[in-house]
């Protein structure tokens, strides 16, 4: 079961999480910041329309091949940790 992990710094412009897989994968995203929320969505994500990941919160998603998740914050240098576990058939 291939596993990818990393940390991505996001800011006020949408940043794509650098995860790719030819198979579906389980994605865990953790907001490392202890003061502010971060927002997830597509390439047009903003603080007004994104899915909120509160400070020190972890969320998990099933992602299909070719889909990408983007993140944005209301400040620069906002760190997210992520873990992607590829499903094997």
- Short-list 39, 25, 30, CA closest to 67: 25
pLDDT attached to residue 22 = 87
Q: List all residues 6 or more positions away from 54 whose beta carbon is below 8 Å from its beta carbon.
A: 31, 37
Residue 10 has pLDDT above 90, yes or no: yes
Residue 77 has a pLDDT of 93
Domains and CATH numbers, the chain: 3-86 (2.60.120.770)
- Tens digit of each residue's pLDDT (9 = 90 or more) over 13-52: 999 999 988 899 999 999 999 999 999 999 999 999 999 9
Q: How far apart are CA 36 and CA 62, in angstroms?
A: 25
pLDDT of 60-84, one tens digit each? 999 998 899 999 999 999 999 999 9
Overall average pLDDT of the 1-24 stretch: 92
């Amino acid at each position: 079961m291939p596993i990818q992990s990393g940390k991505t710094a996001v800011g006020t412009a949408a940043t794509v999480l650098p995860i790719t897989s030819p198979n579906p994968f389980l994605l865990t995203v953790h907001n490392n910041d202890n003061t502010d929320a971060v927002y997830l969505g597509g390439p047009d994500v903003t603080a007004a329309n994104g899915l909120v990941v509160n400070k020190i919160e972890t969320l998990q998603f099933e992602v299909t091949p070719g889909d990408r998740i983007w993140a944005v914050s209301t400040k620069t240098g906002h760190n997210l940790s992520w873990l992607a576990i590829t499903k094997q058939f």
